[in-house]
Amino acid sequence: MAETMWRLPTMSIKTRVALAMAAVLLAGGAFVLAAALGYGRQAARETYDRLLLGAANSIAASITVRDGAAVVDMPVSVFELLALAPDDRIRYRVIGPDGATVTGSAAAPLPEKPGAPVLYDGAFGDEPARYVSLTRRFAERSFSGPVQVIVGQTVRARRELARDIARNAVTVLGMAGAAIAVLAWLALRSALVPLPRIGAALRARDPTDLTPLDLKVPGEVAQLLSPLNDFMARLDRQVTSNRNLIGDAAHQLRTPVAALRAQAQLAADEDDPARRAAIMAKIHARAVSLSRLLDQMLAQAMIIHRTDTEPRALVDLRDIALDVFEDAEATGGGAADLILPDDPVMVRGDSLALGEAGRNLLHNALRHGRPPVRIGVRDDGVLYVRDAGEGPARTDNLGARFVSAGVTGGSGLGLAISRAVAESHGGVLQLGPVDGGFEAALILPGVV
Amino acid sequence: MRWILALILLTIPAQAQELVKDFGTGPATMTLRSTTDLAVMGPVVADYIALHPDLRVRYEQWGSNDLHDLSVAECAAGKGGADLVISSAVHQMVHLVNEGCARPHRSALTASLPSALRWRDELWGVTEEPAVMVYNRDLVPADDVPASRFDLLDLLRPADSPYVGRIATYDIEASGLGYLLAFADSLEATTFGGLMESFGRSGAIATCCSAEIIDAVVRGEYLIAYNVLGSYALARAAEEPRVGVVAPADYTLVLSRAAMIPRSAAAPQAAADLVDFLLSQAGRAALKRALLIVPLEEEAGAPDLPDSVASIRRPIELTPALLLALDAQKRALFGARWRASFPPKVQQ
């Protein structure tokens, strides 16, 4: 059992289809065979019953009344008709109104009730036979009453015909089954052609090529190809972001690290303790800045990673704003006001990523803006940070990586992370002057 | 039930076979009952025995009606003494098979028989004997020799015809074969009605038995005999130059004696072997020598024939249609018509 459970899923599609086809053909074949036998028997019965009836009618028609008695001058055509079943034995019997057999074999069985032509099964010696009985009524001066005619015949020809019909039906069925099997095989082969094609295309690829496979395939196979392409795109994004991270890190770290090295050298060469302390303070400030830069870079890498992997949950933007606000309070980055609506503002998103975006916006405002700084949430799914300043001189490419407004230095990563988060949530990052200040807003699609 | 059967057996009329002869001395025995004269069929059986020295064949010669009655009684009783029955009264044989009294046998030889000479693989036509007209060569002028039934009718038409009272045929009431041939005639052509009427008007004689009729023709008592079995006629013609034989040109009935293995046969395999022998080359050659197969197609020994032989040949087919010949009412009607033409008269 375990063996088959294990084997079954690995059975080839062709084998499965072949098994299914065989099952269908066998079941269908059995059904058609039974139907053909039944139909053949029915057809043979009807055919030869008519023959019997014809013979009985011709015997009945040959009865005349002569000298007050029924006389049967049987025509040879009766027997010629019955001889159409060439190998069957024949029995007939004509019974007068008094119940006496006028002519024929007295051994021919009577029907259960005479009258209208009635067909019935009976025996003929030790062979099964089929009989017909009909009645002709006479109303002559010298002779009146019913004369019953019984004609019977063994059933060899019926069986032969029934077998013949069934045999023909089964032959046709067999040929049709073979044709269906061949066609099914061909159809299956052509249906499975895209699979090896996809395999070949993947195998022929450069190992670093993660672009989507552009193959014309049927819809069913596209169900496989499209997730494959999605998967590769995700892989591509992650590889790219990793590459960017490494590149950015190298690029970003080179200058501060070089400066640190130079200042450390200066500090090493400086004998005056006061100047040396000043240099040390600069080194500390640089190190803090470097640390923040590293945090942001890691945060961005994490967020880009999360946007691809984290499932989206329903979150209340007010909770995000509150978290960001409290973080700023705790780290002592500066004073800000928190403005929240009374009702929850639900969006679908990753709370960690949204929090990181909010933190960056608030950090920028506190650092570069003019107090009072406010962080708030609006009902239509907007998290905003506002200050009373004029904002940076240019906002057109702010938010791209390493583009800083350049006032007091900053990596520029903060806005880039915020923008990436907004976009990965299907929203936008909007920067611009508002009435009495400057506002940075994460506008997200709300959930009603 | 048992005593009913016993009663049936007791009531079997005390018929007796006409002649009995044993062929061969082998340990295995079989009984052959036939309507064919022992003198005619004997050499054929002797040929068979020569091929099967381990066999002893008891040959019983019977009259057709007696043989039929005995076979019916034995069939009803479920036991009997014959392993093979061969009769010229083929309608009786068809009746026996129809009653389920026969045992099937299939072989390449039986399968090679035309379907007209085979029924249910239980009845086989083993001989080919035309029904012919026999005339006295000395007393019938060559111009008068009838080539067909029409010629015969023409001979009888004149009121002063010398053939009045000098035409003979089988008495159908006395001869099963005679009835069969007359019955086959009645199915074959409308000529038969005219012929009967003409026979009646000209005082034709209905009498018994091939040998007697031919003897009377030889003596000049009758000038022409109608519907005589060719085997007897040709046998006599071979030794008696006064006997002339004509196969009617309008149509010639060809009788095949029918062979059947009774269901109650004690030695059915021996019987089946004998049937196969009769259908084989050797058997047919022996039957030809016995004049039981008269090839209408051949010149030697054949009766005077018209050119188109195939079209005049009317085999009496072994089909259930022959059951009609045994129908009680049909027989009575036919007999009444016959009797009207041949009123009973004192045998000469």
Answer whether 0.90 is exceeded by the pTM. no
One-letter amino acid for residue A307 of the chain: T
From chain A, the residues in CB contact with B319 under 8 A are 79, 83, 86
Q: Would you say residue A38 has pLDDT above 60?
A: yes
Q: How far is A135 from chain B (nearest CA, A)?
A: 19
| Nearest Cβ partner for A71 among B98, B120, B329 | B329
User: Whole-angstrom Cα distance, residue B210 to residue B36?
Assistant: 11
B335 touches chain A (CB under 8 A): no
The b-or-e profile of B61-95 (16+ CB within 10 A means b, else e) is bbbbbbbbbbbbbbbebeebebbbbbbbbbbbbbb
Mean pLDDT of the region A364-385: 86
User: Whole-angstrom Cα distance, residue A367 to residue A296?
Assistant: 15
User: Whole-angstrom Cα distance, residue B322 to residue A18?
Assistant: 59
**Which residue in chain B is spatially nearest to A88 when comparing CA positions?**
B120
Mean pLDDT of the region B315-326: 90
pLDDT mean across residues, chain A: 83
User: Whole-angstrom Cα distance, residue B348 to residue B328?
Assistant: 30
Residues A102, B329: C-beta atoms closer than 8 Å? yes
Predicted local confidence at residue B85, as pLDDT? 96
**Which residue in chain B is spatially nearest to A107 when comparing CA positions?**
B99
Q: Which CATH superfamily is domain A311-448 in?
A: Histidine kinase-like ATPase, C-terminal domain (3.30.565.10)
Kind of pairing, strands A90-95 and B224-229? unpaired
The b-or-e profile of A102-140 (16+ CB within 10 A means b, else e) is bbbbeebbebeebeebebbebebbeeebbbbbbbbebee
B319 touches chain A (CB under 8 A): yes
One-letter amino acid for residue A354 of the chain: L
Place B303 in a pLDDT band, splitting at 50, 70 and 90. low
Q: Would you say residue A244 has pLDDT above 60?
A: yes
Q: Would you say residue A446 has pLDDT above 80?
A: no
Residues A79, B321: C-beta atoms closer than 8 Å? yes
User: Whole-angstrom Cα distance, residue A162 to residue B340?
Assistant: 50
Measure CA B212 to chain center: 15
Mean pLDDT of the region A389-409: 56
The token duo for A397 is: 């490419």
- Topology of domain A14-165 in CATH is Beta-Lactamase (3.30.450)
User: Whole-angstrom Cα distance, residue B283 to residue B270?
Assistant: 15
Residues A89, B330: C-beta atoms closer than 8 Å? no
Place A308 in a pLDDT band, splitting at 50, 70 and 90. low
pLDDT 10s digits, B234-293: 888 888 899 999 988 888 999 999 999 999 999 999 999 999 999 999 999 999 999 899
Q: Which CATH superfamily is domain B2-127+256-279 in?
A: Periplasmic binding protein-like II (3.40.190.10)
Residues A73, B187: C-beta atoms closer than 8 Å? no
Place A408 in a pLDDT band, splitting at 50, 70 and 90. very low
**Which residue in chain B is spatially nearest to A152 when comparing CA positions?**
B98
User: Whole-angstrom Cα distance, residue B58 to residue A251?
Assistant: 128
Percent of chain B at pLDDT > 70 equals 89
**From A102-116, B133-147, B219-233, the region with the lowest mean pLDDT:** A102-116
pLDDT 10s digits, A139-166: 888 888 899 999 999 999 999 998 898 8
User: Whole-angstrom Cα distance, residue A291 to residue A407?
Assistant: 19
The token duo for B270 is: 């021996």
Mutate to test the interface with B, among A63, A73, A89 (most CBs of B within 10 A): A89
Residues of A with CB under 8 A from a CB of B: 71-74, 76, 78-80, 82-83, 86-91, 102-104, 124-127
Mean pLDDT of the region A80-101: 90
CATH 3.40.190.10 residue ranges for chain B: 2-127+256-279, 129-254+309-341
Residues of chain B numbered 145-204 and touching chain A (CB < 8 Å):
187
Residue A302: partners with Cβ closer than 8 Å, 6 or more residues away: none
Residues B100, A87: C-beta atoms closer than 8 Å? no
**Which residue in chain A is spatially nearest to B75 when comparing CA positions?**
A125
Place A405 in a pLDDT band, splitting at 50, 70 and 90. very low
CB B141 within 8 A of CB B222: no
Predicted local confidence at residue A371, as pLDDT? 80
B330 touches chain A (CB under 8 A): yes
Q: Would you say residue B11 has pLDDT above 80?
A: no
* Residue ranges of domains in chain A: 14-165, 203-309, 311-448
Residues A78, B324: C-beta atoms closer than 8 Å? yes
Q: What is the DSSP letter of B54?
A: T
Q: What does chain A come to in residues?
A: 448
The b-or-e profile of A365-380 (16+ CB within 10 A means b, else e) is bbebbeeebbbbbbee
B119 touches chain A (CB under 8 A): yes
pLDDT mean across residues, chain B: 85
Predicted local confidence at residue B344, as pLDDT? 65
From chain A, the residues in CB contact with B324 under 8 A are 74, 76, 78-79
pLDDT 10s digits, A327-367: 888 776 667 788 888 888 888 888 888 888 888 888 888 88
Q: Would you say residue B9 has pLDDT above 60?
A: no
**From A107-111, A209-213, B71-75, B265-269, the region with the lowest mean pLDDT:** A209-213
Q: Would you say residue A406 has pLDDT above 60?
A: no
Residues B327, A74: C-beta atoms closer than 8 Å? yes
Predicted local confidence at residue B1, as pLDDT? 44
**Which residue in chain B is spatially nearest to A93 when comparing CA positions?**
B327
Predicted local confidence at residue A398, as pLDDT? 57
Residue A186: partners with Cβ closer than 8 Å, 6 or more residues away: none
User: Whole-angstrom Cα distance, residue A166 to residue A44?
Assistant: 11
Residues B327, A103: C-beta atoms closer than 8 Å? yes
From chain B, the residues in CB contact with A90 under 8 A are 98, 320, 323
From chain B, the residues in CB contact with A125 under 8 A are 99-100
Distance, first Cα to last Cα, chain A: 52
Q: Assign domain B129-254+309-341 to its CATH architecture.
A: 3-Layer(aba) Sandwich (3.40)
Q: Would you say residue B307 has pLDDT above 60?
A: no
The structure tokens 């090493």 sit at A268
CB A323 within 8 A of CB A341: no
Q: Would you say residue B16 has pLDDT above 90?
A: no
Mean pLDDT of the region B17-45: 90
User: Whole-angstrom Cα distance, residue B167 to residue B200?
Assistant: 11
User: Whole-angstrom Cα distance, residue A132 to residue B144?
Assistant: 54
DSSP B113-171: S-GGGEETTTEEE--BEEEEEEEETTTS-GGG--SSHHHHHHHH-STT-TTTT-EEEE-
**Which residue in chain B is spatially nearest to A75 when comparing CA positions?**
B324
B324 touches chain A (CB under 8 A): yes
